[in-house]
Homo-oligomer: A and B are copies of this chain.
Amino acid sequence: MNVSPTRMRDLSRGAADDVRMRGFAARHTVEAALAWLDSQLKPLDAENVSLRMAAGRVLASAVVSDVDVPGFDRAAMDGYAVVAHTTEGAGAYNPLPLIVIGDSMPGSPFRGSIVAGQAVRVMTGAPIPCGADAVLPAEFIEETTHGVAALAAVSPGRNVGRRGEDIVRGTTLMEPGRVLRPQDLGVLSSIGRGEAHMVRRPRARLVVTGNELLPSGSHPEDFHIADANGPMLAALVERDGGVVDFPGLVRDETEAILDAMRADADIVIVTGGSSVGIEDLAPMLLAQHGELAVHGIAMRPSSPTGIGRLGHRLVFLLPGNPVSSLCAYDFFAGRAIRALGGRGKAWPYRPVRGVLNRKISSPIGRLDYARVKIADGQVEPLAITGASVLSSTTRADGFVIVGDDSEGFAAGAEVEVWLYA
């Protein structure tokens, strides 16, 4: 954090506490922070995306088919395409002769047309020849010296899949906002689309600061610690549909941080130096050069979180402690990435209910994020509360939220657990 002795002097009681008190005197509630954030969120513009890359992404506009699928009547089983009334009265004791005039295969249809008394051999999926209106299954045909004979009657339309049976031209198949499933890609392909019109993925620049940090992949040494926030946040952003730009650690220096915050991105996520000390550069820079709309939030961990704008970018200032960083990401930055990408704002975590085996306390006026283990419906709060103990989030199965209007939950209370996934 490169604080000069002069600056450190300002950190001694008077100055530092004044700053702290001034900065966080009026902490925002989580609700107020979300209200400001939500006022800034609308889905990004759209782009055309190859179907191959579209699974799990969000459709930007409705899909209306301009074709019938199939585009022709087709055989629903192997057999003989016929004019149905030709077979009236046919039976095992009354075989009616048919003249086979050709074959229709899915890859090589019969191009002529047929009339009463004629038949065309068809395979499942093959086009029904012009003039035919039913398929007589192979088991109701017998070979005769002159050709074949029908051993049963079929009614018109029988064993025929009609043109448009799957999709009728003009039908709206999918609505905007839909997250595309694998089978949706199949349907889009079947109507001739090689691309889909999708909401653009938000680009998120990660600005991981802290002069004590070594880049991920380094062995921690001496008083240096290896960056945990970068790899974690990159995976979180991708989980929520964003595109990550993380070119490396950023020094705790005004110009370096400001340059990084001015990245070509929709969202900037800064970690470290987010509090109110004079050494905390990011909030000051954001207030000077953009808008620091929210700073200091009544929650634990993640209280020294800031949210604002720099030009068109939404900026999130997350504490450097990794649990705080995770929690603030999930509450604020992740919500923005999901919303800009056209997704729901809700957590991607699945809620389950369980019974607490130990109480969770939390003061009124502060929201708490308590990591828990859950087994057989029994919810066990982890003893660790430190925002620096990231391994607690690996040991935990999920978390319980204690709202700021609650003093917590007694042992035996039923609570909602959000499962990490």
A192 at the interface (CB under 8 A from B): yes
The answer to whether B391 touches A167 (Cβ under 8 A) is yes
Bound Cα distance A189, B390 (Å): 11
**Whose C-beta in chain B lies nearest to the C-beta of A211?**
B107
A152 at the interface (CB under 8 A from B): no
Bound Cα distance A125, B272 (Å): 11
Copies in the complex: 2
A103 at the interface (CB under 8 A from B): yes
List which A84-137 residues lie within 8 A (CB) of chain B: 103, 105-109, 121, 123, 125, 127
Shortest C-beta distance, A179 to chain B (Å), equals 8
The answer to whether A1 touches B394 (Cβ under 8 A) is no
The answer to whether A225 touches B69 (Cβ under 8 A) is yes
A346 at the interface (CB under 8 A from B): no
A212 at the interface (CB under 8 A from B): yes
Bound Cα distance A96, B173 (Å): 77
The answer to whether B277 touches A78 (Cβ under 8 A) is yes
| One of A216-224, A258-266, A291-299 contacting the partner | A216-224
Shortest C-beta distance, A25 to chain B (Å), equals 15
Name the contact of A8 in the complex, choosing from B121, B148, B211, B326 (C-beta under 8 A).
B121
- The interface size of chain A toward B, counting residues with CB under 8 Å, comes to 102
Interfacial chain B residues near A103, Cβ < 8 Å: 3, 5, 8
Shortest C-beta distance, A325 to chain B (Å), equals 8
Bound Cα distance A277, B122 (Å): 13
Q: Residue-by-residue, is A165-205 near B (CB-CB < 8 Å gives 1, otherwise 0)? A: 11100000110000001111111111111110000000000
A409 at the interface (CB under 8 A from B): no
Bound Cα distance A148, B16 (Å): 15
Bound Cα distance A184, B107 (Å): 51
Interfacial chain B residues near A51, Cβ < 8 Å: 216-217, 231
A404 at the interface (CB under 8 A from B): no
Say whether, besides A1-B105, A230-B189, A127 and B386 are in contact (CB < 8 Å). no
The answer to whether B12 touches A55 (Cβ under 8 A) is no
Interfacial chain B residues near A232, Cβ < 8 Å: 182-183, 185-186, 189
Interfacial chain B residues near A107, Cβ < 8 Å: 1-2, 210-212, 252
Shortest C-beta distance, A13 to chain B (Å), equals 5
The answer to whether A55 touches B390 (Cβ under 8 A) is no
Shortest C-beta distance, A137 to chain B (Å), equals 10
A322 at the interface (CB under 8 A from B): yes
Name the contact of A187 in the complex, choosing from B217, B218, B390 (C-beta under 8 A).
B390
Shortest C-beta distance, A292 to chain B (Å), equals 21
Shortest C-beta distance, A48 to chain B (Å), equals 12
**Whose C-beta in chain B lies nearest to the C-beta of A389?**
B166
Bound Cα distance A14, B143 (Å): 9
Interfacial chain B residues near A56, Cβ < 8 Å: 235, 239
The answer to whether A189 touches B212 (Cβ under 8 A) is no
Say whether, besides A107-B212, A389-B165, A189 and B226 are in contact (CB < 8 Å). yes
Name 15 A/B residue pairs within 8 A (Cβ), A-sorted. A2-B105, A5-B103, A16-B138, A67-B220, A78-B277, A107-B210, A107-B212, A167-B391, A181-B393, A182-B235, A182-B236, A183-B394, A191-B226, A194-B218, A350-B350
Q: Chain A interface (Cβ within 8 Å of chain B)?
A: 1-3, 5, 8, 11-14, 16-17, 51-52, 55-56, 67, 69-72, 74, 76, 78, 103, 105-109, 121, 123, 125, 127, 138-139, 141-143, 148, 161, 165-167, 173-174, 181-195, 210-212, 216-223, 225-236, 238-239, 252, 277, 279, 320-322, 326, 350, 386, 388-391, 393-394, 420-421
Q: Which 5 A-B pairs have the closest CB atoms?
A: A194-B217, A107-B211, A186-B232, A186-B228, A55-B235
